[in-house]
Amino acid sequence: MADIRSFRKERKKREQKQTGYKEKILKHKLAAVYRILLTAAGIAALIGLIVIQYKRHVYTDYDIVSSVLRESVGNASDIRLGNSILTYSRDGAHCTDAKGQVTWNQTYQIQDVRMAVSGDTVAIGDYNGRSIYVQNAREQLGVITTTMPLLNLAVSSGGKVTAVLKDTDKAWIQTYGFDGELLYYGEVHMSNTGYPAAISLSPSGELLCVSYLYVDAGVLKTDLAFYNLGDVGENYHDHLVSSSSCTDLIPYVQFMNDNTLFAVGDGCLRIFSGSHQPQLLAGHMYEEEVQSVFYNEEYVGLMFRSEDGNYLYRLDVYNTAAKKVGSYYFAIEYTDLFFDQDNIVAYNETECVIQTLGGMEKFNGVFSKPVRLMLPGSSAYRYILVTDGTIDTVQLK
């Protein structure tokens, strides 16, 4: 007969052995987890350190990464068209990419250029003329011929064009496809509607804003009218879906994106929101004279003369939520300014200043040769410098 005590001892030994194995396995797994967590924490700390150093790094110079030759025209101007360069004059226009390749060339004879840009699309017309040329950075889209003289125009990123046309005792506001097809039209009688001083199309071409100036009891006032040219507008008389009146003169309106428009007046900035029926989100008052207006799809900046004697200008920046992001000061005379991610880039022919929206100056330096146009490059702190004879890609260092 087997010894029960001996059997129990053996079973206990086996159980203890199994428990020991389980504890060892558990300790091994925990050790592996700890190693992974420690490694991840180390990597996160390293990344955080790199990010902090990157944010705090100040650039003092730049390297020319690549350079291509370009032919410049003495009486021509250069502007940014998406990530390309639009060069135009009264005799024609052409578009060049950052590699110096001309994507299209348009000849015309224009006495007084009227131009509108949305993203990488441009419409070029002649004040009091009857032709509008529509192109994007890649190709020529079409030519629109109007039946009356042109006063003003706006364009969408898809190539729709709205034109204000002059008639004998009234004006017409007409929207075309880039192929010249008349899509929408309406007449404006100055005596009851007012004068259409400014217009803007949303990037999608669905919304149109018109700033009407009129006199009420001897006081000049403004009505901002929003027209929906899409399906929503079909349910409203003349496609008018909302409007806003104010006592300020508002000669400048601009869609930042399909959901946001800002209006700049003599003493106020107004920001409207809504993809179908825009409504006033907020207004900001000021007493100084606005020197320039800059914007992209996220921010709008108003440039004023600086009240600080150490600087020439102050830029007040607002976001699409109508909140003030901050005020930024510049000591240089600028010819242009643009937003590049979280940076503000101001420059002239010979020098450049770059600040972050957090208020840190990242670069303050001079160009090695006169610059006609500066635009963002393909990566952080890489830029395209357009000069009289070259297109240079540079990297700050």
Q: Report pLDDT digits (tens) over 79-101.
A: 999 999 999 999 999 999 999 99
Smallest Cα–Cα separation from 39: which of 47, 28, 50, 51?
47
Tokens of 60: 């003092």
Percent of the chain with pLDDT over 70: 86
- pTM metric for this prediction: 0.86
Q: Is the pLDDT of residue 51 over 80?
A: no
Predicted pLDDT at 365: 97
Q: Is the pLDDT of residue 231 over 60?
A: yes
Query: Across the strands, what pairs with 218?
Result: none
Q: Which amino acid is at 329?
A: Y
Predicted pLDDT at 35: 73
- 107: which residues sit within 8 A by CB, 6+ positions away? 91, 92
DSSP helix, strand, coil percent of the chain (3-state; round to 5): 15, 50, 35
On whether residue 106 sits in a domain, the answer given is no
Q: Is the pLDDT of residue 3 over 60?
A: no
Look at 54-63, 175-184, 268-277 and tell me which has the smallest mean pLDDT: 54-63
Cβ(351)–Cβ(365) below 8 Å: yes
pLDDT band at 5 (very low <50, low <70, confident <90, very high): low
On whether residue 249 sits in a domain, the answer given is no
Q: CA 35 to CA 38: how far, in whole Å?
A: 5
Q: Is the pLDDT of residue 52 over 60?
A: no
- The boundaries of the domain holding residue 307 are 301-363
On whether residue 323 sits in a domain, the answer given is yes
Other beta carbons less than 10 A from residue 75's beta carbon: 7
On whether residue 243 sits in a domain, the answer given is no
DSSP state of 306: -
On whether residue 374 sits in a domain, the answer given is no
Do the bridges between strand 161-166 and strand 299-305 make them parallel or antiparallel, or are there none, so unpaired? unpaired
On whether residue 306 sits in a domain, the answer given is yes
pLDDT band at 191 (very low <50, low <70, confident <90, very high): confident
Other beta carbons less than 10 A from residue 348's beta carbon: 16
- 340: which residues sit within 8 A by CB, 6+ positions away? 376
Please tell me the total count of domains within the chain. 1
**Phi, psi angles (nearest 5°) of residue 237:** -65, 130
Q: ∠148-153-159 over CA atoms, to 5°?
A: 110
The DSSP line for 318-340 is: EETTS-EEEEEEE-S--SEEEEE
On whether residue 256 sits in a domain, the answer given is no
On whether residue 371 sits in a domain, the answer given is no
> Mean pLDDT over residues 211-226, rounded?
93
Hey, is 155 helix, strand or coil?
strand
